[in-house]
Structure 1
Amino acid sequence: MLIPVGMFKEHCGERFPSILDFEGVSLDSEEQQKVVKYLASCPVVIASPGVIQSVFDNSKIAGTPSMRTDGCWIWQDTYAYYVSQQKVNVDKDFLHHIRERLYITPIDEEIDFSAIKFPW
């Protein structure tokens, strides 16, 4: 089953933590760039139209309601924006996973989309 990360109640509902209270690992600028690239480059597993305004500045677009995955974890498209622009911390277990992958995103062929089980 995919592990949800980077989903916050402000966009995804009450069962998720608030982006304002989220605790995780703070990144230095070099690693932040690698993580943001990873988040933004993984395949879309659920495409959803529309845009989502930033929780911190509703004049900014944070992303779309689409969901991305690396085959193990799943996150909303907005997560890359929040890590990049708002310096939101990254879940420590997810960061460990990204580091183990050496920040290399999987290509579509590496993910068995038909076998994916969603956590909801």
Structure 2
Amino acid sequence: MSGQSSVGNAGVYEAGDQRNLPESERPENQVERFEEGQEHSHKDNDSKDQRSIANRLAAAKDQNDPHEGSGKHKTIEDRAAELDPTLPARLHGNEPSRGAKIDKSIEDEEAEILRRKDESAAAKKKNH
């Protein structure tokens, strides 16, 4: 019965392999774990991170803009979709979706409206 308590045996209370090395036995180049920090261990846009809104916005800009050093490059389909919403489907030999056709018609209408406005502005400027 020696070494036993009413709540368990002595093994419950022994640290065993959970003990830390004394300072005298630690290697000199070993760094405490909480001071280490791994690169890319946190997401740049983590909502629970304690960063200012300005820092979050700057991180989001870098994340979304391939020209700002994020390393992300647009695919051929992404670049084609910027030019014409129906182009990615046609590049693959498919008929564009109804939504892509509607987007294309809206873009065409807006381009026509802008063209007419530019012409009328140029005509007014010419008359004055």
Shorter-normalised TM-score: what interval?
under 0.3
Which of the pair has the greater relative contact order for Cα pairs under 8 Å at 6+ separation? 1
Larger radius of gyration: 2
TM-score by length of 1: 0.20
TM-score by length of 2: 0.19
